[in-house]
Amino acid sequence: MDGDTVMRDFASMVDDRVDEGMFRIDRSIYTDEVVFDAEMDNIFESSWIFLCHENQIARHGDYFATEMGRQPVFISRQEDDSIGCFINACSHRGALLTPLKQGNAKVLTCRFHGWSYNCAGRCLQIKNQDTGFPEEGFDRTHFNLRPIAKLENYRGFIFGSLSEDVPTLAEHLGPAAKWIDLLADQSTKGLEVVPGSSTYVIRGNWKLQAENGVDGYHVSTVHRVFASTIVNRQAKEEHTGMKKTEAGRITGQVISRGYDLGGGHMSICAQHTTPEVRPIYERRDELRGRLPEADVDWILNRGRNLYLFPNMLLMDNPSTQIRLMKPVSAGMVEVTVYCVAPIGESKDARAARLRKFEDFYLTAGMATSDDVAALEDCHDGSFAYASKWNEFNRGLSEMIEGGDEDANTLGFEPATTSMDWDHETLFHGMYRQWRKLMTNGK
């Protein structure tokens, strides 16, 4: 290591002694900027991360600008309909090449000195090339944009890695792939990202957001007020059909599960008390005609949250969303939420899906706003090094190695199962993967 690098023992920050009944995390992993920089190096800039949905770059020339860790990239739809992902910096002096977050340009021309590139990253033109570079032996391909090391598409969800030294995407996703299938299978025409999104910053660490997305235990406290608001509303006016929002899952009186899916991925699910109010319910017969019974049961009857290590949450609960996380610093994460929906659903189902999304999933909504406030408090509390451990032992004595009967029937093999989403052993998987990557134990 460099002489001026501050040393940290990352392995010791995950105290994994499950055999002795103890799994705990050093809270400084949320607050320490040295840890953050190492996470950028070892996780976000050297392993698979989620980039975007293919529907966001549907046509030739469409681009989607984002970051992989600290590094700007853009994903583009190329002339042959394939997808490319390139470092988003002009090969000349480094200006970002995309004027917008999302747009369409078959040729990207740098707005600084006018160099231009096609969607496949090829340097097409250098302004006044003749007057500055020798005619003999000049190789413009030297200035082609640098593609990222790995780029793969799983059922429309595009993932990339800046490092070559990673497993295949299928190996990376493992049993989490089945949870993506449960969303992707909802329409034979695929999924679409609905126009409009919301970006917000949480003044807290990215891992707190990651945990929160699959933390069943907080629902009956933090979202108790969402449930009571809905009950209050429904008592005042007649709500029927898809306009109704159910409160049963929130009060915790339903069957639930938590799964450590390996590879840092985790998921939770809970039974819907009123599946008929869900937008997907209108497609039940069509789903039953083409999918196995267990898949249809999970799609219609179970609200599901999936965390894909390290930067994405995929949720199918009152509504459906992609939540993309971009860590800014140890104390800040930028989150963008998109409503993702089956192509071809009815107008009523789409409108109901959007209203449920707005009620719950936004910082201007009535649930995510409370999550954000709670996470910001967790972040501030994590400076209490005098009491430095977060324990994740709840449910340990009842944890099942491998899958339960439901997992076996659906056909995925988790590392462990919790029979109650109030249990917290699924987080072991996330932090074991964190430790593995942080100690270069790929």
Partner 1 sequence: MSTDADLQVEVTNLVYREAMLLDRRRWDDWIDLYTEDATYWVPAWASEEDTTDDPDTQLNLIYLRNRGGLEDRIFRIETRDSYASYPLDRTVHVVSNVLVENVDGDTIEATANCLVHSYGKKGSLTRGGMYDFTLTRINGDLKISRKKIVFIDDRLEGPIDVYHL
Which residues bind to partner 1, rule: CB under 8 A?
100-103, 194-201, 203, 222, 224-225, 228-229, 232-233, 236-237, 334, 338-339, 347, 350-351, 354-355, 357-358, 362-366, 369-374, 376-377
Q: What element of type H or E holds 321?
A: strand 320-329
Contacts 24+ apart (CB under 8 A), 16-19: 16/428, 16/431, 16/432, 16/435, 18/396, 18/428
- If the CB atoms of residues 11 and 364 are measured against partner 1, the closer one turns out to be 364
- If the CB atoms of residues 303 and 331 are measured against partner 1, the closer one turns out to be 331
Q: How far is the CB of 280 from partner 1 (least distance, A)?
A: 17
Q: How far is the CB of 364 from partner 1 (least distance, A)?
A: 4
Phi and psi angles of residue 95, each rounded to the nearest 5 degrees, phi first: -65, 145
- If the CB atoms of residues 198 and 301 are measured against partner 1, the closer one turns out to be 198
Q: How far is the CB of 103 from partner 1 (least distance, A)?
A: 8
Q: How far is the CB of 203 from partner 1 (least distance, A)?
A: 6
CB-based burial label for 76 (10 Å; 0-12, 13-18, 19+): buried
Q: How far is the CB of 368 from partner 1 (least distance, A)?
A: 8
Q: How far is the CB of 371 from partner 1 (least distance, A)?
A: 8
CA angle 53, 55, 61 (to 5 degrees): 105
Q: How far is the CB of 360 from partner 1 (least distance, A)?
A: 12
- If the CB atoms of residues 6 and 201 are measured against partner 1, the closer one turns out to be 201
Q: Which of 19, 80, 102, 11 is nearest to 401 (CA)?
A: 19
SS3 59: coil
111 dihedral zone (left: phi>0; alpha: psi -120 to 50; beta): alpha
DSSP assignment of 67-136 equals EETTEEEEEEE-TTS-EEEEESS-TTT---S-SSSEEE-SEEE-TTT--EEETT--EEE-TTHHHHS-ST
Q: Which of 320, 298, 43, 331 is nearest to 182 (CA)?
A: 298
- If the CB atoms of residues 45 and 358 are measured against partner 1, the closer one turns out to be 358
- If the CB atoms of residues 87 and 333 are measured against partner 1, the closer one turns out to be 333
- If the CB atoms of residues 204 and 403 are measured against partner 1, the closer one turns out to be 204
